[in-house]
Amino acid sequence: MNLTHIDDNNRPMMVDVSNKNETKRIASASGIISMSKEAFEAIINNNVKKGPVLQTAVISSIMGAKKTSDLIPMCHPLLLTGINCDVEELPALPGFKLIVTVKLNGQTGVEMEALTGVSLGLLTIYDMVKAIDKSMVISNIQLEEKSGGKSGDFKREEI
């Protein structure tokens, strides 16, 4: 098995994508944060001392996607053409599901940007609400789907 981020001398390297075709690439990732009913209601009622939690999490998700190459050593800096964040309320949990979709026209995919966006958004929710509930759990951070590129399309199957 050839590792793409190791050269012939067993040294780390960033993959050369200069010979790859530019294609439209889209990736969506999601993750869940579960919490106490008290924390959930504080967020829903916009009653958190640090400010509007979900709006701040969306901004953090966008910033995280844009800064992925600064955080993950072998990721290429990318000219992203779009980032969309959706937040679903999960009252039965209670908690929230965050979905981040990232787009570009380029030579490499945006899966890591979508996953990083989700991670930073969920961590922001945790940070803003930890005074109410330190037992929150972040889980199920996963790629939902991707399109474009040589490896083709992927869509997670519903269970």
* Active-site residue list: 127
Helical (H) or strand (E) element with 54: helix 53-66
- Degrees to nearest 5, angle at CA 96 with 153 and 36: 150
What gap in Å lies between CA 142 and CA 145, rounded to an integer? 9
Backbone angles phi, psi at 55, to 5 degrees: -65, -40
